Amino acid sequence: MRILLVGAGGVGDAIAKIAATRNFYELFVVSDYDLSRAERTIEWIANRHGRDVAAKFLAAKIDASSAANVTELCKAHKVDFVINAVEPKFLPTVFSGAFTAGVNYLDMAMSLSEPHEADPFHLPGIKLGDAQYALHDQWERAGKLALVGMGVEPGLSNVFARYAQDYLFSEIDELSIKDGGNLTVVDDQGNEIFAPSFSIWTTIEECLNPPTIYERSKGWYTTRPFSEPEIFEFPAGIGAVECVNVEHEEISMLPRNIKANRVTFKYGLGEEFIGVLKTLHKLGLDATKLQRVRSAQGPVDVAPRDMVAAVLPDPATIGPRMTGKTCAGLLVTGKDKDGRDRATYLYHVADNAETMADIEAQCVVAQTAFNPLIALELIAEGTWKGAGVMGPEEFDAKPFLDLMSSSTGYNIKWEAQERLPASPLRHP
C-alpha cells in the first residue's frame, strides 16, 4: 500500500508516528500546506525509530483546498490510499481529488451539515456525511473504497456498534455514544486554565448546530443545542460528567446499517464548558460571519469565532501541560442473545501521560489517530474489502478489535463494561 496523508497537524502527525511502528505499507507520504510541519513529523520518526524506518516516509507540500493538487500528488507518488487529516472545510476538495486520481480514500470526519431553512430545531437539513453518501454509486462503479468516518468517533464507535449487533445483542434499543474525560490544563505557574483539548472552531460547530437524533418510528429529527442533559458515570476513574446531545456523524451513519430504535450522541462537555459555549452564542461570538472591528491596522473584518480561537491556547501545544484521561465509548441497551435486558458500555480510555510518552501527542488527538491505521492494515491484508462510500460499521468488527488489542497488533485495550439495564426496552 502507498499512502498519501493530507495534513500533518495534530491528528496527522500522530497517525504518521504510530504508522512508523507498523509494516503494511511501502510508502507513506506526509503532506501539509506547511512543508516544515511534515518534515518535523518525519524527523521525529527518524529520531525515535531510526533512519531505516523513516526511509519509507516522504514529506511533501500540498494545497488541500485544490482538488487538482491532491490528484496531482496521488499520481506523482503512485499512491493507492489517501488519508484525509485536514479541517472539515477542505473535505470536498480532498474527497474529489482522490476520486479523480482513482485511488481509495479514508477520513475521520464527514462532510458538513446545513441546518433546515424553515425549522432548524425540529427537522434536519443536510446531515453530516449526506454529501459524501450521495456519491456512493460513483465510487462503487469506479471500484474504489471511500471509508468514511474512520477515526475514534465516528470510527471506533461504529465498530463497537457492529460488534454489539453481531456478538452481544439479539435486539438493540438504543445506541448512545458517550464521550467524556477529566482533562485539566495548567499554565506556566501551575494554575488551571481554560484550554479546550480540541479545536474550539470545530467544537462550537458540533455543539451549537442543532443536535440530530434518530428514532426508528420518526426517522431523523433535531432539537435545540444541549438537549437531554444527563449525568453519565465514565469508567477508569473519570467519574460523573454532564453529557448533552450534539450533532455527530454516527447519527447519520449507524441507522443505515445497524438496526436500533434510537441513536444519539452525548458529549460530556461538563457544566463549565456548556456555560462557555452558551455565553459565546448569546453574545454572537460563535459567528463565522465577518464583523467590522477596529484593529491596529485600521477597520477590518474578522469572524468573531476566529477571535475566540486566537485567544485560546492552541490545542496542539497543550499536551505537556495537560493531565487526565479521555473516554470514547458506546452505550448499547437492548436484549442479549438470550432475550434478557442488557446494557453494555464499550469503550476506550486514553491517558494523556501515556500518549505523551508514546508519541508526544495529547490523548484526544492520539485516540483518533490509531483507528485509521488499523482499518488500512485490515484492508491491506484483504480482511476488510469493499467499494463505494462505506462506514466502519459495514465491516466485520471482530478483526478490527482483535488487531487493536493484540500484543503483536496495536496493543491498545478496549473494554465492554456491563451496566444495570436502567429502563425497559422501548418500542416507540
Binding site for its own copies (CB under 8 A): 194, 275-276, 279-280, 282-285, 287, 290-297, 300-302, 304, 306-308, 310-312
Dist. CA 276–CA 280, nearest whole Å: 6
Three-class secondary structure assignment of the chain: CEEEEECCCHHHHHHHHHHCCCCCCCEEEEEECCHHHHHHHHHHHHHHHCHHHHCCEEEEECCCCCHHHHHHHHHHCCCCEEEECCCHHHHHHHHHHHHHHCCEEEECCCCCCECCCCCCCCCCCECCCHHHHCCHHHHHHHCCEEECCCEECCEHHHHHHHHHHHHHEEEEEEEEEEEEECCEEECCCCCEECCCCCCHHHHHHHHHCCCEEEECCCEEEECCCCCCCEEEEECCCCEEEEEEECCCHHHHHHHHHCCCCEEEEEECCHHHHHHHHHHHHHHCCCCCCCEEECCCCCCEEECHHHHHHHHCCCHHHCHHHEECEEEEEEEEEEEECCCCEEEEEEEEEEEHHHHHHHHCCCHHHHHHHHHHHHHHHHHHCCCCCCCEEECHHHCCHHHHHHHHHCCCCCCCCCEEEEECCCCCCCCC
* Closer of 142 and 303 to its own copies (Cβ): 303
Q: Closest approach of Cβ 203 to its own copies, in Å?
A: 13
Q: Do 18 and 370 contact (CB within 8 A), yes or no?
A: yes
* Closer of 134 and 300 to its own copies (Cβ): 300
| Pairing status of strand 145-147 against strand 388-390 | parallel
Q: Closest approach of Cβ 224 to its own copies, in Å?
A: 14
Residue type, 305: R
Q: Identify the CA nearest to 143 among candidates 421, 395, 385.
A: 385
* Closer of 217 and 297 to its own copies (Cβ): 297
Q: Closest approach of Cβ 324 to its own copies, in Å?
A: 19
* Closer of 240 and 300 to its own copies (Cβ): 300
* Closer of 235 and 313 to its own copies (Cβ): 313
Q: Closest approach of Cβ 303 to its own copies, in Å?
A: 8
* Closer of 213 and 274 to its own copies (Cβ): 274
Q: Closest approach of Cβ 146 to its own copies, in Å?
A: 31
* Closer of 236 and 285 to its own copies (Cβ): 285
Q: Closest approach of Cβ 396 to its own copies, in Å?
A: 44
* Closer of 131 and 308 to its own copies (Cβ): 308
* Closer of 90 and 395 to its own copies (Cβ): 90
Q: Closest approach of Cβ 272 to its own copies, in Å?
A: 9
* Closer of 301 and 418 to its own copies (Cβ): 301
Q: Closest approach of Cβ 313 to its own copies, in Å?
A: 9
Dist. CA 19–CA 2, nearest whole Å: 12
Dist. CA 416–CA 343, nearest whole Å: 10
* Closer of 280 and 366 to its own copies (Cβ): 280
Dist. CA 93–CA 71, nearest whole Å: 10
Dist. CA 80–CA 103, nearest whole Å: 5
Q: Closest approach of Cβ 201 to its own copies, in Å?
A: 11
Q: Closest approach of Cβ 196 to its own copies, in Å?
A: 10
Q: Closest approach of Cβ 283 to its own copies, in Å?
A: 6
Q: Identify the CA nearest to 107 among candidates 391, 399, 301, 344.
A: 391
